[in-house]
């Protein structure tokens, strides 16, 4: 419990010039805060108003003790107040944390802008407004304005990331948006990315080894880049940070991407196929250490691979039939090629997920792994026969007919033509009745 006090203070008497003690005309609230420390806060000259402040502060401290930091978080605005940097809200704290964690500027800016858009359109102004219904209201406006289902899912991801951040930083007890889920994009795809077949990749590789430079990247460097991407599944941004010392070409060849450069912010190690390791060992000779091998972070890699494919007669963009999205090949298709080849080789789904460095098997097997028509036909062709004699002509006696006591097709035909049955005698005719 707290108390009201009017503390004494020492001052100089203007008449006598001596130090004297006097009592304050203003009341002060003296109370133990949520951290257990006694604090004194200014109140009012009026005692009754000061008493009301004491009661109010005691209630607030009790709430802080019971709910901890959540009450303090609820008192802070969700977004910036009056464009004053000193009054930034939780959304700005979330943005700053993403930036401090070293995320790409395009990522944290897009996430923050999408979050602010949803908060505004959903009329989410206070912690009490952080409910799924308000987010759905904003997302409905987004789709209604002509945005795709994929865009809706992107905005939802930003909001759910904000909710997870609030929970991780003890600003809410639970993520208020955990019940929201993405919409299926099936039937709404703007394009379908396909992997390269073995024949296509072989032709591409053989061409670029002797091809002219594209955007200051020589043909030989592109050949090594395409081979590394197709045999490791590393993304463009990850490959842009690879150094000569990132490769280990010993008895167990592998490629390592350091934690700060991988998408998952974890150290990633992918084994290398022996043929790729042998090729890269020759290509890496004389390359200076500490210098990125493929500075493609800001390069037009999609245009680059499409130009190379076009040079060997492969269209990288194929319009779909009416109602179907077009099919495209771009640089990310090399990652899809790696994962699809793992699936077609019979690699266990869990192992394929680990090599693809995905968060779920579903993403690996249902999104990235794609089978060609020839692979589907070959898979069905190797199935063993389900029944003995399945390929025999249908006019022959079937084994189960005899077991079930049924007549064969030949016997049924003989009966219809008045011929003898299998026992060699005809059925006797009935005698006519005497009149």
In a domain, 75, yes or no: no
What is the domain-level CATH number for residue 234? Answer: 1.10.443.10
Which string of b and e fits 101-121 if b means at least 16 CB within 10 Å?
Answer: eeeeeeebeebbebbbbbbeb
Are 238 and 112 members of one domain?
no
Element (DSSP H or E) covering residue 282: helix 274-283
pLDDT of residue 170: 85
pLDDT of residue 103: 83
**Helices within 75-197 (DSSP H only):** 90-100, 105-121, 132-144, 149-168
3-state secondary structure of 20: strand
**What stretches in the chain show pLDDT beneath 50?**
421-422, 435
pLDDT of residue 389: 60
On whether the CB atoms of residues 226 and 340 are closer than 8 A, the answer is no
Count of CA atoms in the C-beta half-sphere (13 A) of 369: 24
pLDDT of residue 397: 52
Count of domains forming the chain? 3
The order of strands in the sheet holding 327-328 is: 192-193, 327-328, 317-318
pLDDT digits (tens, 9 = 90+) for 244-286: 999 999 999 999 998 777 777 788 999 999 999 999 999 999 9
Are 200 and 164 members of one domain?
no
In a domain, 393, yes or no: no
In a domain, 429, yes or no: no
pLDDT of residue 264: 76
Are 122 and 265 members of one domain?
no
pLDDT of residue 373: 76
pLDDT of residue 378: 78
In a domain, 119, yes or no: yes
pLDDT of residue 387: 64
On whether the CB atoms of residues 317 and 192 are closer than 8 A, the answer is no
Tally Cβ neighbours within 10 Å of residue 284. 14
pLDDT of residue 214: 93
Question: What's the whole-model pTM score?
Answer: 0.58
Are 238 and 356 members of one domain?
yes
* Structural domain that includes position 127: 85-168
In a domain, 415, yes or no: no
Are 238 and 345 members of one domain?
yes
In a domain, 385, yes or no: no
pLDDT of residue 435: 45
In a domain, 173, yes or no: no
């Amino acid at each position: 419990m707290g108390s009201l006090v009017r503390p004494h203070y020492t001052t100089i008497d203007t008449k006598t010039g001596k130090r004297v003690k006097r009592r304050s005309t203003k009341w002060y609230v003296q109370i133990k805060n949520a951290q257990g420390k006694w604090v004194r806060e200014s109140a009012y000259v009026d005692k009754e108003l000061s008493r009301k402040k004491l009661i109010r502060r005691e209630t607030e401290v009790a709430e802080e003790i019971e709910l901890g930091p959540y009450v303090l978080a609820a008192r802070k605005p969700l977004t910036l107040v009056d464009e004053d940097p000193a009054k930034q809200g939780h959304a700005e704290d979330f943005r700053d944390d993403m930036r401090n964690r070293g995320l790409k500027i395009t990522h944290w800016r897009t996430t923050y802008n999408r979050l602010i858009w949803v908060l505004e359109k959903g009329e989410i102004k206070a912690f009490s407004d952080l409910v799924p219904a308000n987010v759905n209201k904003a997302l409905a406006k987004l789709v209604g304005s002509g945005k795709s289902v994929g865009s809706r899912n992107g905005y939802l991801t930003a909001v759910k990331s904000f909710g997870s951040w609030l929970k991780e930083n003890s600003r809410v007890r639970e993520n208020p948006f955990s019940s929201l889920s993405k919409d299926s994009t099936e039937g709404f795809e703007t394009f379908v990315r396909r992997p390269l077949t073995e024949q296509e990749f072989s032709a591409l590789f053989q061409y670029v080894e002797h091809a002219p430079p594209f955007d200051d990247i020589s043909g030989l460097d592109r050949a090594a880049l395409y081979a590394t991407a197709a045999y490791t599944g590393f993304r463009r941004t990850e490959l842009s940070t690879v150094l000569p010392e990132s490769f280990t070409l010993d008895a167990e060849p592998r490629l390592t991407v350091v934690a700060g450069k991988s998408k998952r912010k974890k150290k990633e190690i992918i084994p290398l196929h022996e043929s790729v390791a042998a090729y890269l060992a020759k290509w890496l000779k004389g390359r200076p250490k500490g210098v990125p091998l493929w500075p493609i972070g800001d390069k037009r890699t999609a245009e680059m691979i499409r130009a190379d494919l076009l040079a060997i007669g492969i269209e990288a963009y194929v319009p779909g039939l009416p109602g179907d999205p077009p099919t495209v090949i771009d640089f990310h298709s090399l990652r899809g090629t790696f994962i699809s080849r793992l699936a077609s080789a019979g690699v266990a789904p869990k192992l394929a997920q680990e090599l693809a460095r995905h968060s779920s098997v579903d993403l690996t097997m249902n999104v990235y792994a794609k089978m060609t028509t020839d692979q589907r036909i070959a898979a069905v062709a190797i199935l063993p026969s389900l029944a003995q004699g399945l390929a025999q002509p249908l006019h022959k006696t079937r084994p189960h007919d005899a077991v079930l006591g049924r007549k064969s097709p030949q016997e049924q035909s003989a009966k219809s033509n008045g011929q003898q049955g299998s026992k060699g005698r005809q059925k006797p005719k009935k005698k006519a009745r005497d009149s």
